[in-house]
Structure 1
């Protein structure tokens, strides 16, 4: 993951939490991320959401061993 990609992901998560409201901002970051991804997927029809999830899992499995975490671990 490039530094630009990391920065964009962190910015997107912070922006999402700030727009949803104070209750979202007080949740752990992993919950915020889950909520953001769920809301993104709900913008697509179920078949497309399933295709996205399949691709995400494939990409994550292929790339996660090279990625240095930038957010704290889940609580």
Structure 2
């Protein structure tokens, strides 16, 4: 799947940035296992703690407190 994603991104001249937490970098690992992924993976963020999620991704502390770190409202604030 990662290789297909890379081919699609390259075809359209796009790059990818990811943000993941509870997966602990698993998504980034799957992507970087593909030879040549540095051409289309721009960066990957893995803020595991709530403090890092607030600092790096700009999620509001109140959203984390109200909904927990693994929730749709938190994902919406990440983008």
TM range (shorter): under 0.3
Name whichever structure is richer in helix by fraction. 1
Higher relative contact order (CA 8 A, sep 6+): 1
Name whichever structure is richer in strand by fraction. 2
TM-score normalised per structure 2: 0.25
| Structure index of larger Rg | 2
